[in-house]
């Protein structure tokens, strides 16, 4: 798994930063969170690929978080994409996309399924779930939590060999946590695997004020990307515009026992985001200031 930040600016792009767009790549699938204007340009630079399994999660319907979906869909059609795309977002997401496609009069080379979401579980796949929690912004907005389901424990080849299990398909099934038959004997995964390993948790805040609900929602995340639009000296403006400061993001991450905090969605007034990084670093021990095309391996 890896996180790829395609855009890290707030409201307006800068020469160094595009508008908000974050991708989580897992097992050949792309989970995209928001797509600001021009997202397809950064996506092209990232080399993530045009025809992979893909889901897009929109936090809210402000232009710097969703307009880029239109260009992305059109570019993917020009790239002859055939894989379907699932899009999730607040009420109005279906009308926004369908109306614009109709007005702009461009066809798609692949199916698009659009779902208006509520809180709680949005997607429940075999190996992960994605949950939503309402954020505190100027319009209806959601934060998202990617939660990997527990993985089978470490596989011990020497134990499998001792039992007499031939290498190959049976080993693979045991690694997936399935029982196998060897002659007249049924071998359970627990005989060749260590204890189950907890899955990873990755949070995406979108635009929001820090809240106690989000603190609980993001509890024990391995990585949390959080709204850090302003520095502490502009805290009043953060309240007025329903955004967060880097300091507030750090306090929330610390209180929620988050392992790694990623600052993003920087106001265009900051040519250098180091002031925000230093502010957060005083509070949380592991802070990353995102930049466009930053890749973070999730180990």
What are the tens digits of pLDDT across the range 10-40?
Answer: 999 999 999 999 999 999 999 999 999 999 9
What tokens does 174 get? 């045991």
Does residue 161 share a domain with residue 28? no
Out of 34, 64, 227, 292, the active site residue is 64
Does residue 128 share a domain with residue 212? yes
Does residue 70 share a domain with residue 169? no
Which residues does the chain have with pLDDT short of 50?
A: none
User: Domain of 100: which CATH number?
Assistant: 3.60.15.10
Does residue 91 share a domain with residue 73? yes
177 lies in which domain range? 157-191
Yes or no: say if 152 and 193 are a contact pair by the CB < 8 Å rule: yes
How many domains are there within the chain?
A: 2
pLDDT at position 196: 83
**Active site (annotated) includes residue 64:** yes
pLDDT at position 197: 83
What is the pTM for the complete model shown? 0.90
Does residue 163 share a domain with residue 18? no
Does residue 280 share a domain with residue 231? yes
Q: Parallel, antiparallel, or unpaired for β 53-57 and 29-33?
A: parallel
pLDDT at position 299: 82
pLDDT at position 47: 95
The per-residue DSSP string of 11-36 comes to SS--SS--B-EEEEEETTEEEEE---
């Amino acid at each position: 798994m890896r996180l790829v930040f395609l855009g890290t600016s707030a409201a307006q792009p800068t020469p160094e930063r595009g508008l908000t767009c974050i991708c989580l790549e897992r097992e050949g699938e792309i989970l995209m969170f928001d797509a600001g204007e021009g997202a397809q340009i950064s996506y092209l630079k990232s080399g993530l690929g045009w025809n992979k399994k893909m889901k897009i999660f929109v936090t809210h319907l402000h232009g710097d978080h969703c307009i880029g979906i239109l260009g992305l869909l059109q570019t993917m059609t020009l790239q002859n994409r055939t894989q379907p795309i699932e899009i999730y977002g607040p009420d109005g997401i279906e009308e926004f996309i369908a109306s614009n496609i109709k007005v702009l009069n461009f066809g798609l080379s692949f199916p698009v399924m659009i779902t208006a979401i509520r809180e709680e579980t949005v997607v429940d796949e075999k190996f992960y779930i994605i949950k939503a929690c309402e954020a505190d912004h100027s319009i209806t907005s959601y934060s998202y939590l990617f939660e990997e389901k527990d993985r089978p424990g470490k596989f011990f080849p020497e134990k499998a060999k001792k039992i007499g299990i031939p290498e190959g398909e049976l080993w693979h099934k045991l690694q997936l946590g399935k029982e196998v038959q060897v002659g007249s004997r049924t071998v359970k995964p627990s005989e060749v695997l260590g204890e189950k390993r907890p899955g990873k948790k990755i949070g995406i805040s979108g635009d929001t004020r820090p809240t106690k609900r989000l603190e609980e929602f993001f509890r024990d995340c391995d990585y949390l990307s959080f709204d850090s639009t302003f520095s502490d000296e502009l805290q009043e403006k953060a309240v007025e515009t329903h955004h967060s400061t880097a300091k507030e993001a750090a306090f929330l991450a610390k209180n929620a026992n988050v392992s790694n905090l990623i600052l993003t969605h920087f106001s265009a007034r900051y040519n250098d985001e180091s002031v925000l990084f230093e502010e957060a670093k005083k509070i949380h021990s592991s802070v990353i200031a995102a930049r466009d095309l930053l890749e973070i391996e999730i180990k």
